[in-house]
Chains A and B, each alone.
Chain A
Amino acid sequence: MKKIPVIIFFLTMIIACKKNEEPKRGSFLTGDGVFLINEGNFMGGNGSLSYYSYDSSKIYNDLFTEVNGRPLGDVPNSMELYGEMAYIVVNNSGKIEVVKKSSLQSVTTITGLISPRNMGFVNSSKAYVTSMYSDSLIVINLNNFSVSGYINLRRSSESIVVLDDKAFVANWVGGNEVMVINTLTDEVIDSVEVGIEPESMVVDRNNMLWVLCNGGWMRENFAELDGINTVTNTIEKHIQFPTKEASPGCLRIDGNGETLFYLENGVHRMSISSQELPSEPLIAQSGHYYYKLGINPVNGDIFTTDAVDYQQNGHLLHYNSEGSLVSDQQTDIIPGSMCFKLSDN
C-alpha cells in the first residue's frame, strides 16, 4: 500500500510527458502553402502569422511569435515573398519584419515607417512601400534593408503594382487617382483619375491594370471597376456597379491573368473580356462574413477569410477553382491578406 503514492506519482509523470506530435517548422514550410496575415485588433498588439500547408491541409498559427519569441506587432497588413526573404508589413507598428522564407527566422526589422501598407518590388535592390497616413511612397534598399528615400505623392497610398519600368499606386482613402511612378527615376510621371476610393488592383495577361474602386464607405457613390492601359495611362474599360449599396473589395486575378475575382456579398468571378459584372456570386457568402480573398496562381484554388465578429478567431476557407469547399481552418483574430508560397510559381 505504501507504494501506491509512488506509483501514482510516476504514472502522473508519464502521463504529463506528452509527446510532441507536431511536425517541425522546417518540414511544413518547405512544401507548398499559403501564408496568412492575421491583423488582430487595432491597438491590441495581437497580429500574427499563419501558414496553411497544402501537404497536410493543416493550418499552423502564430508562427512569427513561435519562431522569434516576440509578437509580430499591431495590425500586420500584408506579406510578400522575394528571393529568400519574406517581408511582413506591420501597419500600426510602423515597421516591416524581414524574415527568412524557409524558417521565418527574423533577419531584421525596418522601423520608423509611417503607416506602411503594401510592398511592391522593383528589382532585387529596391522596393516601394505604400503609406496610409503620409503623402509619400517609401523607397526601401533591399541590400541593407533600410529606407533609402521617399517619393512625394501628395496623397496617401494603398495598393501597388509594379510593371516594367512603372509602378502604379492607388490613392485609396478618400482618393480617386492612380499615380504612375517611373521606377528608374523614382518620380511621379502621371496620374489616372478613376472611381472613388481605388481599393485594390491587378494586372491581366494583356498588361491591363484593373482597378476596383469601392465608392467610399459612406455609400454616396457607385463602386466601379476600371481598366487602365498601362502604356498610355488611360482608362479603357469602365464598369459601374448597379447600386450605391454595393461595396466590392479585394480584386484578385488568377495565375493566367484571364479571370478576375472580387468580394461583394460572396466571391464573384468574371472574365477579363466580359463587358458586364456577374449577376450571381460563384460562392455565396451564406453563414460567413468574407473579409479577404486570395487565388492560388497555379491551380486557381480560391481562399477567403471570415473574420467572424472581429474579436474571436476567424476562419480560412479553402475552395477549389469551381467554388466547392475543400477545408475550413481556424485562424487567429481577423485573418486578412494572403501570400502564396508555391514551388511552381
Chain B
Amino acid sequence: MSASAIEISELTKDYRLGFWHNRVRRSLDHLTLKIEDGEIFGFLGPNGAGKTTTLKLLMGLIFPTSGTARICGRPIDDVKVHAEIGYLPEQPYFYDYLTARELLDYYARFANYNSAERRERVNRFLELVGLASAANVQLRKFSKGMLQRVGIAQAILHDPKVVFLDEPMSGLDPIGRREVRDIIHNLKIQGRTVFFSTHILSDAEMLCDRVGVLVEGKLQGVGAPSEMVSMQVNAMEILFELREGLALPATLAAAKSIGGRNHVEVPEEKLYATLDELRKCGARILSVSPVRPTLEDYFLKLAGKKPSAPVPMEAVSR
C-alpha cells in the first residue's frame, strides 16, 4: 500500500514565553490528519489558529514538542523530503537585490538542473505566473502581488509532488486570485497534492476536495466542503416584483426592497402559502431559491466556539 502524501500524527507545538521561559503557549494541539495523493486540501482557521505553525513544522523550520509527521512516506526531519515538496510562506520575502529570473535560477540550482534546463524552466514558470515581462527587474521594485507570484513560481519550479501554500491568494487582485486558482487546479490535474491555508473561504469552497478547520490549535473538523455545509435547507428565498400602487399583506411585512425588487425568506413549509398570497396581491414571482448554510457559516460557527465544544463533524481524516 502506498503512503499518503501527508500523514500527521498527534503533532503538538508549545512555545515557551517570558523572560524565564516559564509560561507555555500551545500553538498546535495533537493535530492528526492524513492527506491523500492528488488531493487539494484547504486548511482554514482564524488568525493565530496554528495554520502557519503547522506548515512551519512540516517544513522543518520549527521542531515539534511531540508527535510525528511524514511527507511522501519520509519523516519531516529527513531533508531529502524537500526535493519532493514546494513551499510558499505567508507574505513571502525574497532576496530583493536579485531579479525574478535570478531568484528562480538560484532556487532551481538546489534541484540539480543543468544550466539549459534551469533556463528553460525559469522562463516557463515566469510565463506561467505572468511575470515574463518583469523577469529582469529587481525584486525590491516588485509589488506585493508580484512577490506572491514569484513565490508561487519558486514553489512549483521543480515539479514537486506535494505543494504547501500559506495564504497563496493574499495580496492578489481578483485577476491574480483567479490565476492562482487556475495554477492550483492545474497542479491537481497533474496529480500533485496541494495543501494550502487560506482565509478566503470561497476559494476553499471552489478548489478543495477537503478542508480542515483549525481553531486555537485544535482541529475542529475535516471533510469535503459540501459535507461541511450539508444539504439542509434553512429557508426559501422568494424574489418578486410588485406593480405600482399595490401593497403587500401584513403577513409579508418582513420583505425587503432592494433595487426595485423585493425578497423575503420564509420557512420551507410556508413556501406555497406565501406564493399564493403574493399571487393574490398581484406580485410577479422572479425566482424561488433554497437558502443553505455556507462554508463561511460553518467556519464562523466553529471559530466562535470554544475548541472543546463538540461540533457535528467528523474530526478525523478518512
* Physical interaction between A and B: no
